[in-house]
């Protein structure tokens, strides 16, 4: 049983500075909630003289992270990246020190290793802040829905891409202009690759799927597509058909022993709740056999909102330290395997640039029919210089069948290119 909780904070960036602020300014309140005094014993940084979003007592900053870890009861890791974060977290967990982390990239790649170290020593590894900022989604999956069977999770898990796509939809901006605005406002990094290529959302999807399906998945199990190929024409065409484009992370059971995990741009009907998620906000839908449909919505990033999730994890595990007893282990008893895209069933929006000739459209629909794919709606733009744009929305089809049909269509002499293939989410799956 702990009489005082000594906290080591690793990292003093946007989220780390806000976590430090809460630990200091709300110290008395935290003590009452936890049942023991809380002491921030130090903040590990690379440069003790750098400017911060919030400045703690200068004596707290240190470059000696290992010494800080060794002196702490709880380690809060907010540095990001794989190394040295992995080595530092393992050092803490192997010594029996509980860890709170917001490091989605690390957890998506090495989560199994870190959880094994926590289980062996009886420490607690908590990481609510790794997914969807302030939105409580991981603990509900792990705890509140532990007696249910989650069948599907889908949602907007990256605020940067949601802001970009929302700007393209509401203002008609191009991708490059919307990205520049996101960078200007601080929503996107100078190098936005992790966001716009879908890697950030893929890390979160791997974490969510592991908890939802009681299995172990890594980022390598996630099929990932970004939004860099989405054009203003795609967005305008979606709007004309009553849809909005969002980058969705989708985790769904496939049969009894498999799960498909993917991140891809998706057309969503305007009346779908996710279509109304604007700006840099996140929203996650969970579908379970008994609970039905649940939606979690809120700010998916930002220093203070994410620090709120960090402190929620901290208070939870600190209470356990005060009362005594080991941390709560993860359960991966189901061990579903990650499946490919071949058997994923979806509707699709397909854009084809064709020569304006008699029979071209009939030829394309014939090929789709031969591959078991029927067309729900179709629009053709007025020809310009002998070239027309065809956009079709299909009925539900297997991904493998759609890809085979697209390959045949793309090889036609009358087809300039298949310039857009985007999945379509129905109101009801």
Q: What are the structural domain ranges in the chain?
A: 3-130+302-321, 135-299, 343-422
Q: Looking at the annotation, which residues are catalytic? A: 204
Instruction: Give the domain 3-130+302-321 fold.
Output: Rossmann fold (3.40.50)
> φ, ψ for residue 240 (rounded to 5)?
-65, -30
CATH of 343-422, one of 3.40.50.300, 3.50.50.60, 3.30.70.260, 3.40.50.970: 3.30.70.260
Residue 298 tokens read as 């809120």
Annotation: binding site for NADPH: 104
Q: Per-residue pLDDT averaged across 37-53, rounded?
A: 94
Cα–Cα distance measured from residue 4 to residue 315, given in angstroms and rounded to the nearest whole number: 13
| Stretch among 172-181, 184-193, 208-217, 256-265 having the lowest mean pLDDT | 184-193
Contact 241, 275 (CB under 8 A): no
* Binding-site residue positions for NADP(+): 10-17
Tell me the pLDDT band of 35, cut-offs 50, 70 and 90.
Answer: very high
Q: Please, which residues have CB within 8 angstroms of residue 239's CB and are 6 or more apart in sequence?
A: 169
For the annotated binding site for L-homoserine, the residues are 189
The closest of 36, 28, 31, 19 to 44, measured between CA atoms, is 19
Higher-pLDDT residue of 90 and 356 is 90
Other CB atoms closer than 10 Å to residue 71's CB: what's the count? Answer: 12
DSSP lists the bridge partners of residue 326 as none
Tokens coding 425: 């989410």
Q: State the pairing for strand pair 415-424/345-355.
A: antiparallel
Give pLDDT tens digits for 361-418.
999 999 999 999 999 999 988 888 889 999 999 999 999 999 999 999 999 999 999 9
Number of H helices, E strands in the chain: 14, 18
- Is pLDDT above 60 for 429? no
135-299 and 343-422: same fold? no
pTM: 0.91
pLDDT digit string, tens, across residues 99-155:
999 999 999 999 999 999 999 999 999 999 999 888 999 999 999 999 999 999 999
Residue 221: which pLDDT band, with cuts at 50, 70 and 90?
very high
Q: Which residues pair with 350 in a beta bridge?
A: 392, 421
**Residue positions forming the annotated binding site:** 10-17, 104, 189
Q: Three-state DSSP class for 8?
A: strand
On whether the 135-299 domain is CATH 3.40.710.10, my answer is no
């Amino acid at each position: 049983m702990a009489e005082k909780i000594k906290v080591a904070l690793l990292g003093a960036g946007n989220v780390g500075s806000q976590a430090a602020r809460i630990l200091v300014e709300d110290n008395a309140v935290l003590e009452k909630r936890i049942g023991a005094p809380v002491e921030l014993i130090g903040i590990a940084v690379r440069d003790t003289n750098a400017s911060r979003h919030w400045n703690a007592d200068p004596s707290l900053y240190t470059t000696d992270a290992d010494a800080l870890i060794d002196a702490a009861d709880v380690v809060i890791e907010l540095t990001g990246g794989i190394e040295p974060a992995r080595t530092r977290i393992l050092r803490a967990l192997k010594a029996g020190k509980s860890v709170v982390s917001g490091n989605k990239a690390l957890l998506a790649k090495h989560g199994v290793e870190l959880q094994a170290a926590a289980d062996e020593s009886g420490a607690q590894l908590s990481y609510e802040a790794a997914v969807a900022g302030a939105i409580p989604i991981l603990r509900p999956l792990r705890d509140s829905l532990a007696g249910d069977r989650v069948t599907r999770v889908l949602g907007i898990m990256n605020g940067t891409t949601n802001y970009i796509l929302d700007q393209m939809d509401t203002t008609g901006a191009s991708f490059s202009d919307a990205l520049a605005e996101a960078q200007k406002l601080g929503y996107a990094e100078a190098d936005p690759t992790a966001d716009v290529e879908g890697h950030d959302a893929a890390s979160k999807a791997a974490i969510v799927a592991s908890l939802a399906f009681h299995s172990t998945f890594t980022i390598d199990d996630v099929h990932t597509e970004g939004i860099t190929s989405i054009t203003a024409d795609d967005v305008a065409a979606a709007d004309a058909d009553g849809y909005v484009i969002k980058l969705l992370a989708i985790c769904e059971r496939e049969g009894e022993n498999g799960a498909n995990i993917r991140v891809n741009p998706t057309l969503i009907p305007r009346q779908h709740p996710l279509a109304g998620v604007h700006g840099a906000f996140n929203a996650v839908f969970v579908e379970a056999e008994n609970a039905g449909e649940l939606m979690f919505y809120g700010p998916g990033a930002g220093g203070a909102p994410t620090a709120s999730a960090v402190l929620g994890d901290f208070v939870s595990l600190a209470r356990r330290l005060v009362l005594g007893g080991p941390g709560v282990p993860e359960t991966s008893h189901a061990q579903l395997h990650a499946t490919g895209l071949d058997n994923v069933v979806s509707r699709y929006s397909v854009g084809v640039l064709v020569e304006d000739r008699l029979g071209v459209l009939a030829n394309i629909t014939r090929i789709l029919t031969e591959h078991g794919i029927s067309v729900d709606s179709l629009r053709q733009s007025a020809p310009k210089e002998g070239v027309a744009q065809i956009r079709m929305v299909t009925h539900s089809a297997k991904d493998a069948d759609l890809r085979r049909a697209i390959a045949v269509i793309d090889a036609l002499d009358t087809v300039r290119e298949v310039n857009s293939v985007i999945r379509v989410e129905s109101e009801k799956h």
